[in-house]
Homo-oligomer: A and B are copies of this chain.
Amino acid sequence: MWFVRVNMTDLSASIEEAPEAYKILGGRGLTSTLVAQEVPPKSHALGPNNKLVFAPGIVTGTSAPTSARISVGGKSPLTGGIKEANAGTSWAADIAVMGIQALIVEGFPKEKGKYWGISVSMDGSKPKVEFFDATEYAGKPLPQVFPDVYARFGDRISICSIGMAAEHGYGNSGVVFNDQAKRASRYAGRGGLGAVMSSKGLKLIVLKREGAPGVKIVDHALFDQGRKNMIEALRTHAITKPKGGLNTYGTAVLVNIMNEAGGLPTRNFSSGRFEGAPKIAGEAIFETNKQRIGKELYNHACSPGCIIQCSNTFHKPDGTEHTSCLEYESDWALGADCGIDNLDQIAEMNELCNNYGLDTIETGVAIGAAMEAGVIPFGDGAGAIDLVHQMGKGTPLGRILGGGAEMVGRAFGVTRIPTVKGQAMPAYEPRAVKGIGITYATTTMGADHTAGYTIAPEILGVMGKQDPLSPEGKAALSRAFQATTAFIDSSGHCLFIAFAILDIAAGYQGMLDECNGVLGTNWTAQDILDYGGKILKIERAFNEAAGIGKEADRMPEFMKTEPLPPHNQVFDVPDEALDSVFGDL
């Protein structure tokens, strides 16, 4: 296994054996460990001392199902804290089979305005890094970039890049990877890591996997047994099975569910119910596609080896492709949170986010906040599309939005700004779903549903149903979910395996057996929690040294004072409960 260090100061690379001490680390576990060890917490996120770390998960690159995730880590320009964002893409599988445990981008370009690319290929059993001038790819929407890169390097590559949002230095800018149809659509989107990559003058990382040795598996029998149990669990569970909820309606299946629960944040978090929800729900996406292409369209995999296959493609009235993938979070942020109920307009905004390299959640919430400020009215889809274009172009208004929801609040004096640690809240209203609010408040990442998705028990009945409106026991619930998630994010699996493995014990054991099979470890369920807890501890220590202590583990004031319709509840989790989540970590 290799550590590839790319130095952008002198355009050099070093390829070294990964230290034995890091053997069991993958994904988020490895990115957070390296960032905490190598990045001074008080360094400027866009300065020379930040680093950008890529790490595939423990089982990524194997035949373990739904495990082609790549973690990207660094200090976030949006939150000022540690950041891990991950994406499902062939790029993840490719870097794993090439034996690269971590790719670490360091240093700082001597020349401003110039961009470089690197191509990584195999030189025998060792990876090789070559630099090329990539300035010609800058300043363009990504659909004008990816085809050229494929044309230049051939079809059998995987691509990592950044968009114009990152080039502008936005806190709202993601790192993008190709999907299975060669689109620039798979984002490690949150927290502005795209801007970190841009600050280093790095525009492209092209992987040529030809000749890659593959991932070493210590105990094949154990791995195969785990893999089979995992597949069985995913194929059985109602949420993840073929033609189940996710495969049919995509993640946007949640629109109607969350709306019904009164927890679909609407018009800048002023209501938990959106009258236009049915028009933008996953069911509507499915039906609209059916009308427009003349047949039922089930979803596809974002990355090789995924058997959940939840990624949709939305089509235009003429039956041609409009955008992929229109996730629940994007659909909600660009839709309900802006009071927009027109799927074609939402799809256009989603596609523009993909093209410019913007995080859809931060974009939608920032626009919702701008609507509250009166920049354009709620529901103005055409106006909202224009705002996304302005973000791409880097107009002054676009730059305010590119700084995220919190910057919109500061620029326009808006106090109802749904952020934690500077990052916009996702599509679950904390006043209607208390556990997810605890996750938003306490995760190291800034408001982030994927850090501890208590929606599973609170809304979806996974592990048995818990009352979403009650704060009781939710601190412990969030903590358990956050620790488990930190492990899953390290294993390389998509977080969506959680539905199946939390409900089906053999699936959970399957995850363990897969990891133990690859690494030769003997982890038990308790080890999973300990592993996750250790990562969280490392991340929290980084944040604290960066000046983000437990006082930052708080919800914005308005959520504690403004009751949210329809339940008319405030966020009533006491500070002590928030502090208890990691009190003794």
List of B residues within 8 angstroms of A168 by Cβ: 412-413
Q: A400-B400, A557-B43 are in contact. Are A169 and B551 (CB under 8 A)?
A: no
| Docked-complex contact A551 and B44, CB < 8 angstroms | no
| Docked-complex contact B407 and A411, CB < 8 angstroms | yes
Q: Interface residues of A, CB < 8 Å — how many? A: 44
List of B residues within 8 angstroms of A43 by Cβ: 557
The yes or no answer to A284 lying at the interface (CB within 8 A) is: no
List of B residues within 8 angstroms of A47 by Cβ: 415, 557-558
The yes or no answer to A48 lying at the interface (CB within 8 A) is: yes
| Docked-complex contact B561 and A551, CB < 8 angstroms | no
Question: Complex formed: what's the CA distance from A554 to B40 in Å?
Answer: 13
A129 to chain B, nearest CB (A): 26
Q: A43-B557, A47-B558, A397-B396 are in contact. Are A199 and B546 (CB under 8 A)?
A: no
| Docked-complex contact B400 and A399, CB < 8 angstroms | yes
A77 to chain B, nearest CB (A): 8
A370 to chain B, nearest CB (A): 10
The yes or no answer to A395 lying at the interface (CB within 8 A) is: yes
List of B residues within 8 angstroms of A400 by Cβ: 396, 399-400, 411
Give this chain's copy count: 2
The yes or no answer to A465 lying at the interface (CB within 8 A) is: no
Q: List CB contacts (< 8 Å) of A508-556 with chain B.
A: 544-549, 551-552, 554, 556
The yes or no answer to A42 lying at the interface (CB within 8 A) is: yes
A546: contacting residue among B49, B170, B551, CB under 8 A: B551
A557: contacting residue among B44, B395, B413, CB under 8 A: B44
List of B residues within 8 angstroms of A41 by Cβ: 551
List of B residues within 8 angstroms of A396 by Cβ: 395-397, 399-400, 411
List of B residues within 8 angstroms of A551 by Cβ: 41-42, 544-547, 549
Q: List CB contacts (< 8 Å) of A37-55 with chain B.
A: 40-44, 46-49
Contact with B along A394-411 (1 / 0, CB 8 A): 011101101100010011
Question: Complex formed: what's the CA distance from A508 to B556 in Å?
Answer: 46
| Docked-complex contact B44 and A556, CB < 8 angstroms | yes
The yes or no answer to A171 lying at the interface (CB within 8 A) is: yes
List of B residues within 8 angstroms of A193 by Cβ: none
List of B residues within 8 angstroms of A413 by Cβ: 46, 168-170, 195, 198-199
Interface centre among A198, A396, A548 (most CB of B within 10 A): A396
A170 to chain B, nearest CB (A): 8
List of B residues within 8 angstroms of A554 by Cβ: 42, 547
Q: List CB contacts (< 8 Å) of A1-57 with chain B.
A: 40-44, 46-49
Interface centre among A169, A554, A556 (most CB of B within 10 A): A169
Q: Which residue of B lies closest to A398 (CB)?
A: B396
Question: Complex formed: what's the CA distance from A475 to B43 in Å?
Answer: 23
Q: Which residue of B lies closest to A408 (CB)?
A: B399
A425 to chain B, nearest CB (A): 15
Interface centre among A48, A411, A544, A546 (most CB of B within 10 A): A411
Q: Which residue of B lies closest to A413 (CB)?
A: B169
Question: Complex formed: what's the CA distance from A547 to B420 in Å?
Answer: 12
List of B residues within 8 angstroms of A548 by Cβ: 547
List of B residues within 8 angstroms of A411 by Cβ: 396, 399-400, 402-403, 407
Q: List CB contacts (< 8 Å) of A358-404 with chain B.
A: 395-397, 399-400, 402-403
Question: Complex formed: what's the CA distance from A47 to B417 in Å?
Answer: 11
Question: Complex formed: what's the CA distance from A400 to B48 in Å?
Answer: 25
Q: List CB contacts (< 8 Å) of A413-431 with chain B.
A: 413-415
Q: Which residue of B lies closest to A395 (CB)?
A: B396
List of B residues within 8 angstroms of A199 by Cβ: 413, 415
Question: Complex formed: what's the CA distance from A195 to B545 in Å?
Answer: 31
List of B residues within 8 angstroms of A545 by Cβ: 551
Question: Complex formed: what's the CA distance from A312 to B410 in Å?
Answer: 34
Q: Which residue of B lies closest to A169 (CB)?
A: B413
Interface centre among A399, A402, A403, A558 (most CB of B within 10 A): A399
| Docked-complex contact B412 and A407, CB < 8 angstroms | no
A576 to chain B, nearest CB (A): 14
Question: Complex formed: what's the CA distance from A307 to B304 in Å?
Answer: 80
Question: Complex formed: what's the CA distance from A396 to B46 in Å?
Answer: 23
List of B residues within 8 angstroms of A407 by Cβ: 403, 407, 410-411
Question: Complex formed: what's the CA distance from A77 to B413 in Å?
Answer: 9
Q: List CB contacts (< 8 Å) of A194-221 with chain B.
A: 195, 198-199
List of B residues within 8 angstroms of A397 by Cβ: 396
List of B residues within 8 angstroms of A40 by Cβ: 557
Question: Complex formed: what's the CA distance from A85 to B548 in Å?
Answer: 26
Q: List CB contacts (< 8 Å) of A165-182 with chain B.
A: 168-171
Q: Which residue of B lies closest to A403 (CB)?
A: B410
Contact with B along A554-575 (1 / 0, CB 8 A): 1011100100000000000000
6 contacts between A and B (CB under 8 A): A42-B557, A49-B557, A400-B400, A400-B411, A545-B551, A547-B548
| Extra contacts besides A546-B551, A547-B551 (10): CB < 8 Å | A44-B415, A48-B561, A49-B561, A171-B410, A198-B413, A199-B415, A395-B396, A396-B396, A399-B400, A547-B552
